[in-house]
C-alpha cells in the first residue's frame, strides 16, 4: 500500500529560486524524473497517473504529490489502492504551487522507492513551470470537450511545455473538435512540443504517452548517472 501524508505549508515565496535548485538536486540524487502535470479540473490528471502506474508496474515505480488550493484534502483512495506513495499539499488558497511548497513535500516521500514523480498541480492553466519548481518536464493535459481552440485561449502555457496530452479522444465522434486546428494552434506556439492524443477511459493510444515518458527518463543525464551509482 502507498503512504499518504498531508503537508501544510506557510508562505515562503522569497526562497523560490534557491529551493527550486534544491528540489532539482534532491531528484537528481535519487535518480527520479520529476514531471509537472498541469490541467484544468476534470481533464484527467488522476486518471492518467493511475493508467501510467498500471502500464509501468513491471518496470518503473510511480510517486505522486497532489496539490490543492483548498484546506480540505483530496480523496486518497485511488492512489492508495494502486499502492502509489502520495503526499498531499495545500497551497493555502494560492492559485499556484511554488518550489518552497514543493520542497517539504519531497522530504515526506520514500524517494528511494520512486522512479517517476508526478506533481499533480493545481487545476488551472496558469501553473508555474517545471524549472521554477525544480522538476524536469512540463506536461499539459487537455480534454476534447475543452475545445480545439484551447491553445488560442491559453497560449502562454503551451509555449513552455514538453508534451500535451489530448485526453478523451473517445469523445471525438460525438463533439465538434477539429484535431488539425488544435494541432496547428499548438505547433505555432511551440514547434517542438509532442502532441499525444489518447483516452484514459478506454486506454486507446496510451502507448504514445508511455513511450514519450520512458524516453524522457532515459535521455535525462542526471537520472542515468544517479541510477548507475545505486
User: How confident is residue 9, by pLDDT bands cut at 50, 70 and 90?
Assistant: very low
The 10s digit of each residue's pLDDT in 116-163 is: 999 998 766 665 567 789 999 999 999 999 999 999 999 999 999 999
Q: What is the pLDDT of residue 68?
A: 78
For residues 34 and 25, what is the distance between their CA atoms, to the nearest angstrom?
A: 11
For residues 180 and 148, what is the distance between their CA atoms, to the nearest angstrom?
A: 8
CATH 3.40.50.300 fits 4-140+202-228, yes or no: yes
Per the CB < 8 A criterion, the answer to whether 167 and 142 are in contact is yes
For residues 49 and 4, what is the distance between their CA atoms, to the nearest angstrom?
A: 16
Q: What is the pLDDT of residue 48?
A: 97
Task: Supply the mean pLDDT for the chain.
Answer: 86
Neighbours of 131 (CB within 10 A): 15
Strands in 121-225 per DSSP E: 137-143, 163-167, 194-197
Q: What is the pLDDT of residue 56?
A: 96
Residue 62 has pLDDT above 50, yes or no: yes
Per the CB < 8 A criterion, the answer to whether 97 and 133 are in contact is yes
Neighbours of 119 (CB within 10 A): 27
User: How confident is residue 95, by pLDDT bands cut at 50, 70 and 90?
Assistant: low
Amino acid at each position: 500500500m502507498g503512504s499518504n501524508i498531508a503537508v501544510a505549508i506557510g508562505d515562503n515565496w522569497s526562497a523560490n529560486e534557491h529551493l527550486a535548485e534544491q528540489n532539482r538536486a534532491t531528484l537528481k540524487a535519487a535518480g527520479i524524473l520529476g514531471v509537472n502535470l498541469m490541467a484544468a479540473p476534470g481533464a484527467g490528471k488522476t486518471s492518467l497517473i493511475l493508467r501510467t502506474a498500471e502500464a509501468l508496474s513491471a518496470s518503473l515505480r510511480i510517486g505522486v504529490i497532489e496539490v490543492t488550493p483548498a484546506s480540505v484534502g483530496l480523496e486518497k483512495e485511488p492512489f492508495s489502492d494502486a499502492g502509489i506513495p502520495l503526499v498531499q499539499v495545500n497551497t493555502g488558497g494560492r492559485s499556484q504551487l511554488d518550489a518552497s511548497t514543493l520542497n517539504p513535500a519531497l522530504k515526506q516521500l520514500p524517494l528511494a522507492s520512486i522512479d517517476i514523480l508526478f506533481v499533480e498541480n493545481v487545476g488551472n492553466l496558469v501553473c508555474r513551470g517545471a524549472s521554477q519548481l525544480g522538476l524536469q518536464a512540463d506536461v499539459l493535459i487537455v480534454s476534447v470537450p475543452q475545445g480545439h481552440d484551447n491553445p488560442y485561449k491559453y497560449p502562454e502555457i503551451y509555449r513552455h511545455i514538453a508534451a500535451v496530452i489530448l485526453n478523451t479522444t473517445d469523445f471525438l465522434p460525438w463533439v465538434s473538435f477539429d484535431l488539425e486546428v488544435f494541432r496547428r494552434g499548438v505547433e505555432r506556439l511551440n514547434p517542438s512540443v509532442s502532441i499525444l492524443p489518447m483516452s484514459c477511459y478506454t486506454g486507446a493510444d496510451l502507448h504514445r504517452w508511455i513511450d514519450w515518458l520512458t524516453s524522457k527518463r532515459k535521455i535525462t543525464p542526471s537520472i542515468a548517472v544517479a541510477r548507475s551509482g545505486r
